[in-house]
Chain A
Amino acid sequence: MRIGVVTFPGSLDDRDAARAVRLAGGEAVALWHGDADLKKVDAVILPGGFSYGDYLRCGAISRFAPVMSEVVAAANGGLPVLGICNGFQILCESHLLPGALTRNENLHFICRDQKLRIEDTNSSWTSSYTSGQEIIVPLKNGEGCFVADEKTLDQLEGEGRVIARYLDVNPNGSLRDIAGIRNSRGNVVGLMPHPEHAVEQLTGPTTDGLGFFTSILTSMVNS
């Protein structure tokens, strides 16, 4: 299974995402923002970081990178795509996911081990979890406050498209404690916390994050 990880200028977590893919048993393939080429991968990860320095709005300029026109077309055709943190912001700016991520409510950059509840296991990236499972993974963002209009929020909840919610503490003011969402089809997932930093006992608070990466490998074997 070949999982592509895109590197934008300013990406930080592309190496960790690739490492998480390998630990889960997949082959990580480096993709470059300037190449409109997905190298025939089976899925794509848009990693965390500060692509294009977060200029204009987080993810707003990355959306127009050559690789993104390929990602958007492939995602609309069913290719699994996971956007983590800055990747989630890029997915919202690309209109692959609804809503937007704005400045944290308290204006602070938050870095903490965050408890989450996995609420939907029907996506390509969450099938290894059980519904209601509580996990702890690192969270680090300055603009992670998820907002959308009431109708969109109701729709996301009504269709079971909230894949994870913040537990105990809402770190950034996200509406309805939303930490991650998916598209209707379930192939595109955006998540603000960082599962790729919780895949090894040595460096992570837990290994709870590995499930996102084993999910995609399992769901591709089964499909």
Chain B
Amino acid sequence: MARVVVDVMLKPEILDPQGRAVQGALGRLGITGVTDVRQGKQFVIQVDGEITPERREQLHALAAELLCNPVIEDFILVVEEDQ
């Protein structure tokens, strides 16, 4: 078993109105000093068996082609093979 975590974030140059709305709410909570909030997505994927190089490539393709739209988003894929 392996746990694969993919974080997807809007590219820095893409406007993130949701993050901006969250930042606006922080001010209303009385929290100061927050200069920026960006909102993203996290996918947690469970995989049977070992993560072979071939398997890793498949997961990378999954992230690049489905989980993330490369026009507007970047992703980071981390394999946690500790189980």
Contact = CB atoms under 8 A, between A and B. Distances in A.
A60 interface: yes
B71 A104 contact: no
A148 B21 CA distance: 22
B71 A92 contact: yes
A153 to B, nearest CB: 12
B33 to A, nearest CB: 24
Q: How large is the interface on A (under 10, 10 to 19, 20 to 34, 35 or more residues)?
A: 20 to 34
A160 interface: no
Contacts, number: 35
Contacts of B17: 103-107, 173
Contacts of A145: 15
A191 B20 CA distance: 27
A56 B21 contact: no
A102 B67 contact: no
A147 B66 contact: no
B29 interface: no
Contacts of A60: 66, 69
Interface string B6-40: 00001001110110010000000000000000000
B61 interface: no
B71 A57 contact: no
Nearest to B14: A147
A93 B18 CA distance: 21
Main secondary structure of the interface of A (DSSP, over half): loop
B15 A100 contact: no
Contacts of A57: 69
B72 A147 contact: yes
Given A105-B15, A173-B15, A100 B71 contact: yes
A39 B67 CA distance: 31
A173 B18 CA distance: 14
A99 interface: yes
Interface of A: 56-57, 60, 64, 92-93, 98-100, 102-107, 145, 147-149, 173
Q: Which 4 A-B pairs have the closest CB atoms?
A: A100-B71, A100-B72, A107-B17, A103-B17
19 contacts: A56-B66, A60-B66, A64-B66, A92-B71, A98-B71, A100-B69, A103-B18, A104-B17, A105-B17, A106-B17, A107-B17, A107-B18, A107-B21, A145-B15, A147-B14, A147-B15, A147-B71, A148-B71, A149-B13
